[in-house]
Chain A
Amino acid sequence: MKPLVLEKEQAGHWLKGLCNNFDIFAPLPTDKGYSDWQKWDGGDLFDVAKGVPKSSIKTFFFPQPEVLFQFNARASAPDAFRLREPKCQDKPRILFGVRPCDARSVVLNSMPYEEDPYFQKRIQETFIVGFLCREGCSTCFCKWTGGSPTGTEGMDVAAIDLGQVLYVEILSDKGKRLVGNGFFRSPTKDEETEAKDFVEKAKGQALDQDVASILRSKGLMHLYDAPFWNSVSEPCINCGTCTFLCPTCYCFDIQDETLRGKGRRIRYWDSCMFPLFTQHASGHNPRGDKLKRVRNRFMHKLKYFPDRFGPISCVGCGRCVRDCPVNIDIRQVLRSLLEI
C-alpha cells in the first residue's frame, strides 16, 4: 500500500474516532520520571520520547497474569472444578508509539509461542502502531541483535515523525483497518524525500557481522564452559529485574488460585534468575548456583534460542543494561561470547 500522511493536529481526532472500537495504549509520562505504557486518555501523544518506555510491550501479549481457565471451586456444585476457558471481555487494543525493538520482540516471542492460543489470540487483537527511531539512547544496540532503528518487523503501521506530520506506512491488513477513516492524505514529493532521508540517516551503517549466525556456529559446550561466567555472575543478586523488564524474556509459571468458591488457573511471569525456577519437589536443583542461573539467561538468549529458531532472543532495547541493579551488561556478555 502507498504511504500516507497524517497532520499531527489531526492525529488526536483520528485516535478518538478509534476509541469506540479499541483501547489505546501509549508510552506516557509517570510521576516517577520515566514514561510507561498507560491507557491513553485523549491527551497529547506526540511527544514520544526517544528510546523505549520503562516496561516492554510483552505485558499486552503475555499479561501478568493470564487467566488460562476458570472453575467453580465449590465442591458441591454440579460443575465443580471443571475448567472453562475465560471469555475475554477486552476490546482490541492499539499500541501507539511502539519502537522497532519492541515491535520486533513480538515476532521473536511468537516463535516459541506459535501454538499458544492465548498469545496468538492477543496478537490478533493487538494493533501495533510503530514509531521509527531518529536517534537511539546510549544503551540501544538493536543492530547487534538483527534489528534496526528503522525496522518495521511486527508493526501493523509504521510512523515516521517528520515534525508537523506523521509519515505512515501500512504494513498489514490490520493496519488497513486503522487508517480507514478520512484523516490521511497522500504525501507530497518533499515529504517522501524527507521520509527517505530519515530512514537513511537513522539506519546508519549496517553491522559487518551477523551475530546470530556467528553464535549458532559456535560449539554449545564451548560457550557454556567459557571462563567468564563466574565474573559475569558474581555481582548478581538474583532479582528478576532483567527478566521482567526484558521484552523477549517469556518464561512463566502456572498456578491455581481459589478464593471464595471461585477458582482460576493462571500463568504469570517467572524468572530463571530465581532459585525456585528449577527446583524439584525433592529439593534437588539443577541450577542451584547463581552462576548457572545467570549463564542460563544469557545462553538462552544468545545460544539456545538461535540454535532453535535462528535469531537471538534479544532486541537490543537496553532495558536490562539500564536497570540491572548491579550493572550486568548484556552487551559485554555478547561481546565476550563472540570473541571466545
Chain B
Amino acid sequence: MSLKYALFTGCVAKGAGRELMTATELVCRKLGIELVEMTDAACCGAGVISEDNEMVADIINARTFALAEERGLDIMNICITCQGVHRKCQVKLSSNPDYMSRVNAALKEQTGREYKGTVKIRHFGKILLEDYGLDKLRQAVTKPLSNINAGAFYGCYALRPHEYSDLENPDDPDEMERIIEALGAKPVKYPERLKCCGFPILMMNKRNSMALSGNAIKSAKDAGSDCVITQCPLCHLNMDAYQPEIDPDLNMPIVHIQQLIGLALGMSHDDLKMNTHIVRPTGAVASI
C-alpha cells in the first residue's frame, strides 16, 4: 500500500528552519512516502492568533482541514506546535457540533469550503510509527547510528493537555525513543525531556525563555546525550540558534528527528543541511 499525505509545512520549515523541509522531503522520498505540499494552507496560528481571536484561528484551521479533505488525503505535520494546535482545534470542533456549525458557516461564507470532520491529522513521527512501521524503518537503515546517544525532546504540544495528545502515555512517552532505537542509536531519557523549551515567550521574557532551553540542554548533556533530537522546529530554534547566548560551552548539537533518520539512511550532513545549524555537529554526531 502506498503512503501518501497532505504535507502541512508550517511557517518555520519554509522560513528559519528550511533544513527541516529538506530533511523531510529527502527521508520521505527514500522511504517511499509520497507528500503533496499544501501550498494553499495558512499558518496554524501557533496558539497566538487564538490569543487575539479564537474563532478566527479555528476558522483558518478548519479551512486547512477542508483543503486536505478535498484532496482526499490525511495531514502530515512536521512541526509539533502545528500538530498540537490542529488537534486542539479538531477536538474542539468534533466535541461541539454547535460551534463546528458556526465555524463552518463562516468558512463557507468566506471561501465556499466546508470541513466535514473526516481528515486524520498526525505528526511525521506518529505516521512513521503507525503507517510505515518500525520494522520497515529498521530494514531501511543502511548506516546504524550505534555510536550515538540521542536524547529526545518531545515539545509541549506533543504532550499537553493530554486530550490533544496522540501519544500512548504523554506523562512518560517512548515514541521518539522507539524511533531512535530503530535507527541503531541509544535513546537517552533525561529529566527535562518533557519540559517546555521556552520559545513562546522569547519575545516577552528572553531570560526565562533561554533558562528553560538551557536547563533542557544541560539535562540532556548531564545524562550523557550526544545530541538533542527535536520534533518541533521552534524547540530547535530556541535550543540551537540561542545556544551561544545561553551558554557557549554547551556545544550540544540539536537535530531534527528527520535529520537523524536521514543519517541512518545513509545521507550526509550536507544533504540534510546540518551545517546550517548554529551549533555545528560535534563529537559522535560529526563522525557519522
Chains A and B form a bound pair: no
Q: Which residues of A contact B (CB under 8 A)?
A: none
Q: Which residues of B contact A (CB under 8 A)?
A: none
